[in-house]
Amino acid sequence: MNRLSSVSRRFALAACAAATLAAAPAAFAQQKLQIAGNFATEHPSSVAVDQVFKKEVARLTNNQLQVDVFPAMQLGGAKENIDAVRSGTLALTWVGGAFLSRIVPELEAVSLPFVFRDREAAFRVIDGPVGHAIDQKLQAKGFVSLGWMELGSRNITNSRGPIKTMADLKGLKLRLQPNETHLASFRALGANPVAMDVKELYSALEQRVVDAQENPYTVISASRYSEVQKHLSNSGHFFDFIAVVASKKAFEQLKPEYQKAVREAMAATIAHQRKLAIESEAKALAELKGKMTLTEIAPTALEEMRKATAPVIEEVKKRAGAELVNQVLAEAAKR
């Protein structure tokens, strides 16, 4: 059985089990929660969910509510997890925010190119009124937002050659998340972007279906993309978040005290994950330097890229709302 069919089979079995629970009496259904993600087991988000969320839920509910954790695409890829949560056959998922933008386009407001100068600016935005507005949009689409982890600053790897300037991106076939802002940004930079689910990415790189991909250092390392890519550049073009969302349908079936426990447990998990992300980023970069050729992009070249992608922001205003985008820009610019 190949890996994809194995994943699909596990997802089908999990969905069947979840559906059975949903049909059972509420008191029984509330005893077990499943949370799934597509990040590798050693990624800081997966570590935090397994080490903190699982234990905190059990502690806060006196072991009356248990959590089963399924990282590394065990229950399917990002799209499958999101669709399962939205339908109520999966209780929770943690997933790159870009994958939710097809359902909630307002998420594109926090996907702007070259806007967040550091993680502090990024979290000031997502933890404030902008994040609250996005949470409300998610709720209207069948999700309960439980907070935002750090995915991190995204950087380019490729198999073609060093990337030092915008000219080096011309014609580069680059895999991106299914986010229109991300795609438009790289079109503006002269690349040939392709939207692809993460579950297909390693084999696509290995078989040279695409030349390149972009991800935070932690994902590049944990997903072992250095095995199929030789060049790494510190482009830092987007800062990305991990959305933690629950099924509104499943969440509202929980007792109020269990809902409170889940929120508190995830708040502790997110705080832990953000600390882990800082430590993991430095470690991942050090590891990648030993396996790949790192090309430092000069500030002048990054400024050229920023100017080239500036018109993309005006297009985002049409999809996500000018008021929300302007709010992001204002908050991100604060010192």
Half-sphere exposure for 54 (CA within 13 Å, toward CB): 15
Predicted pLDDT of residue 156: 98
Residue with tokens 């502690």: 59
Quote the CA–CA distance of 180 and 279 in Å, as a whole number.
Answer: 31
- pTM for the model stands at 0.90
DSSP tally for the chain: helices H, then strands E = 14, 11
- pLDDT under 70 in the chain at which residues? 1-30
* 158/95 Cα distance (integer angstroms): 24
Contact 119, 61 (CB under 8 A): no
Nearest to 161 by CA among 227, 231, 214, 209: 231
**Percent with pLDDT over 90 in the chain:** 90
pLDDT score, position 335: 85
Range list of H helices, 141-247: 180-188, 201-206, 217-222
Task: Tell me the residue type at 327.
Answer: Q
Asked whether 22 and 88 are in contact (CB, 8 A), the reply is yes
Tell me the CATH number for domain 155-238+287-330: 3.40.190.170
Exposed e or buried b for every residue in 194-223, given b needs 16+ CB within 10 A?
bebbbbebbebbeeeebbbbbbbbbbbbbb
Instruction: Write down the pLDDT at residue 10.
Output: 47
Q: List CB contacts of 203: < 8 A, sequence separation 6 or more.
A: 209
Same fold, 3-152+241-285 and 155-238+287-330: yes
Domain boundaries along the sequence of the chain? 3-152+241-285, 155-238+287-330
How are beta strands 92-96 and 239-247 bridged, if at all? antiparallel
Measured in whole angstroms, the distance separating CA 212 from the mean position of its chain's CA atoms is 18
- Strands across the sheet with 212-215, in order? 192-195, 173-176, 212-215, 155-158, 231-233, 293-295
Contact 286, 222 (CB under 8 A): no
> Rounded to whole angstroms, how far apart are CA atoms 187 and 206?
23
Residue 9 confidence (pLDDT): 46
pLDDT score of 127: 98
Residue whose entry in the numeric block shows the structure tokens 């790192």: 294
Looking at the domain 3-152+241-285, which fold is it? D-Maltodextrin-Binding Protein; domain 2 (3.40.190)
What is the separation of C-alpha 110 from the centre of its chain, rounded to a whole number of angstroms? Answer: 12
- φ, ψ at 70 (rounded to 5°): -125, 90
What is the SS3 assignment for 278?
helix
Element (H, E) at 246: strand 239-247
Q: For residue 284, what are the contacts with CB-CB under 8 A and spacing of at least 6?
A: 216, 217, 218, 220, 221, 222
